[in-house]
Structure 1
Amino acid sequence: MSGQTRTEMNTGAVNGASSAFDVIVVGSGPAGASAALELGRCRRRVLQIDGGLGRNVGSRAAHGLYTRDGTSPAELRRVAQEQLGRYGVQTVTGQAVGARSVEGGFEITLQDGRPFRAVKLMLAYGMRDLLPEVPGLAERWGDGVLHCPYCDGWEHQDDRAVVYGGGNATHHMALTLQPWTRQVTVLSDGPSGFTPKQREDFDRLGLRVTETRIDRLEGQGTRLECVYFEDGSVLAADVMVLSPLQEPSSDLGVQLGCVQNGSHLRVSERGETSVPGVYAAGDLTGGPQYVVAAASQGTLAAIALNTALIHERLERRGVEFHKGPQQ
């Protein structure tokens, strides 16, 4: 069958439950797009549900991505959708709000009421950052306020950095920044909760710690220039780094009954959740939150899902299919 014929088969109107798919991929970020790409290349009938812009919408560029270092998230999304079309992957835009098991597979319902059914699901809707309610912080998220030195540390080497928060996560982040800059100040915005040993670590590295409450952040546009404190003092800074709390961007996994590890979905080595036929990849599974890592997880989970479809079809035909160590 030619590639043109295959595309014609898969790109008809997407109207709802009457359109049956092999796989529905919920999410269009690196994990979801990579999974949809791999499954499309496996000649599966794939529907991708695009819930809109992801966590990295405020970032100027994605880094550490082989051959695409420095490409903007918007451009990565554009190219991904263009390439998915080559393999007949259909995309609908909307928020997936309902998920349930049905005969022969699963049903996903969008916020506008449209239902879609598939034999298997790939959940890749990611996580949502819960940012501190500090005036001036949210609008600088992704530029003047960051969460990952591996993603953006090079662009802020030797800058005046402030690390927001207290406890173990902030201690870890402050020490992690050392290769990029030694100009680090820890701002706990109140009682820090640091242990005596953690304070000793900061002293040995010459890291200042202040527990004064923050009033606001200011700077030019989305850039950071100064931190203002409630006592009237001001600290010049070029970048703030923090590890925010997170929550899933959707409760579809909970609706389906998937077992969780904290706020993340528990998955097997093959990316399958505790619910047979439901797979998950990316930040949602608690893996490293890098574009390249999420993309890798999406690809590997897609291969496992496709292998499961192969096994099931052959078993229905009475064919014994050897399952190798990766299957």
Structure 2
Amino acid sequence: MQNKTFDVIIIGGSYAGLSAGMALGRSLRNVLIIDSGKPCNRQTPHSHNFITHDGIPPKEISSLARKDVEKYTTVQFHEGIAAQVLKKNSFEVETLSSEIFYAKKIILASGVKDVMPDIPGFKDCWGVSVLHCPYCHGYEVRNEVTGILSDGDLAYDFSKLIFNLTKSLTLFTNGKSILTKQQIEKLKQNEINLNEEEIEGIEHDNGCIQKIIFKNGSSALLKALYAKIPFEQNINITESLGCELTEQGFIKVDAMQKTSVPGVFACGDNVTMMRSVANAVAQGNFAGAVVNKELSEEEF
């Protein structure tokens, strides 16, 4: 790659990044997309709730998207990881391999990294039968024997969503629950089981959960398990850039996808708890249009 200076550098080349890249490429902007090729849903066999692409493997969707974006000669790709971004006269992006690129604007579409609990079998089932989103996967396991791994207010609120999909539901808190008496009573009224046993591991068949094994030797048969687990930003450059984060750990953006740092925008899973392909595509498309408008106004 000879060109080192761009109008926009997009960090992250999954759904949000590719969508932003298309919007900018069609606006004749010189764009570089930096991506490591490791999306968070790479284990997920099928993606759902994205109209025209329902049931297609995520990798196939991203492959089709990349082919679409590659048609625009103003968009280039670089396989790598952005190590730091510095704001000078322009933005300077350095990769882990010490390559340096420059841009007027930055779009962070880098996603998030899920922090897996120390439960044997959990990671193997993540995205296959241990699920994060009822909108993405709930229909496929409707009316099945289902569990939720969580606790407290988050677990209680999540139970309401999953209860709509199945009445064979157990809330696993992996230890003494912090639910209130009122919340426990409401769960009982809706015949949602509460299991406070500590989990030893998850027994599965190629990622398809069979049962949860508890430390006391008992077990619980399951077809699906929803889990609310912590996450962290996929890359650490938000800190070096000085981008403000929300209390939940997302990059804080306004209605125009602008971060707290002028010239830096963000879209996709790194800014919202609504983690879906459709949402990422929509946010990326909008962010690309906003960035193009800002560049147009500055150049006019």
User: Is contact 1:144-1:224 (8 Å) kept?
Assistant: yes
- Looking at structure 1, the residues matched to 207 and 122 of structure 2 have their Cα atoms a distance apart, in angstroms, of 9
- Looking at structure 2, the residues matched to 288 and 237 of structure 1 have their Cα atoms a distance apart, in angstroms, of 25
Query: Which residue of structure 2 aligns with residue 325 of structure 1?
Result: none
**Aligned pair in 2 of structure 1 residues 113, 133: CA closer, same or farther (>3 Å)?**
same
Residues 124-273 of structure 1: pairs in structure 2 closer than 5 A: 124-262=109-247, 263-273=249-259
Partner SS, residue 148 of structure 2: strand
Pair 1:111-2:111 in alignment:
no
Q: Which runs of 5+ in 1 are unaligned?
A: 1-13, 315-327
| C-alpha deviation, 1:287, in angstroms | 4.9
User: Is contact 1:42-1:306 (8 Å) kept?
Assistant: yes
Pair 1:65-2:47 in alignment:
no
Residues 71-90 of structure 1: pairs in structure 2 closer than 5 A: 71-88=56-73, 89-90=75-76
RMSD of aligned Cα (Å): 1.1
Query: Which residue of structure 2 aligns with residue 11 of structure 1?
Result: none
Q: Percent identity?
A: 30
> Which of 25, 33, 55 lines up with 1:40 in the alignment?
25
Pair 1:311-2:292 in alignment:
no
Matched length: 298
- Looking at structure 2, the residues matched to 162 and 28 of structure 1 have their Cα atoms a distance apart, in angstroms, of 33
Pair 1:299-2:278 in alignment:
no
Query: Which residue of structure 1 aligns with residue 108 of structure 2?
Result: 123
User: Is contact 2:4-2:100 (8 Å) kept?
Assistant: no
- Looking at structure 2, the residues matched to 207 and 268 of structure 1 have their Cα atoms a distance apart, in angstroms, of 38
| C-alpha deviation, 1:98, in angstroms | 1.1
Pair 1:283-2:269 in alignment:
yes
User: Is contact 1:188-1:210 (8 Å) kept?
Assistant: yes
| C-alpha deviation, 1:49, in angstroms | 0.5
- Looking at structure 1, the residues matched to 132 and 57 of structure 2 have their Cα atoms a distance apart, in angstroms, of 17
Query: Which residue of structure 1 aligns with residue 7 of structure 2?
Result: 22
- Looking at structure 2, the residues matched to 149 and 280 of structure 1 have their Cα atoms a distance apart, in angstroms, of 25
Partner SS, residue 292 of structure 1: helix
Query: Which letter maps to 1:145?
Result: V
Q: Bigger radius of gyration, 1 or 2? A: 1
- Looking at structure 1, the residues matched to 103 and 175 of structure 2 have their Cα atoms a distance apart, in angstroms, of 50
**Aligned pair in 2 of structure 1 residues 150, 35: CA closer, same or farther (>3 Å)?**
same
TM-score (norm 2): 0.97
Query: Which letter maps to 2:87?
Result: S
User: Is contact 1:165-1:192 (8 Å) kept?
Assistant: no
> Which of 29, 35, 44 lines up with 1:50 in the alignment?
35
| C-alpha deviation, 1:286, in angstroms | 2.4
Partner SS, residue 282 of structure 1: coil
Query: Which letter maps to 2:266?
Result: A
Q: Which runs of 5+ in 2 are unaligned?
A: none
Higher relative contact order (CA 8 A, sep 6+): 2
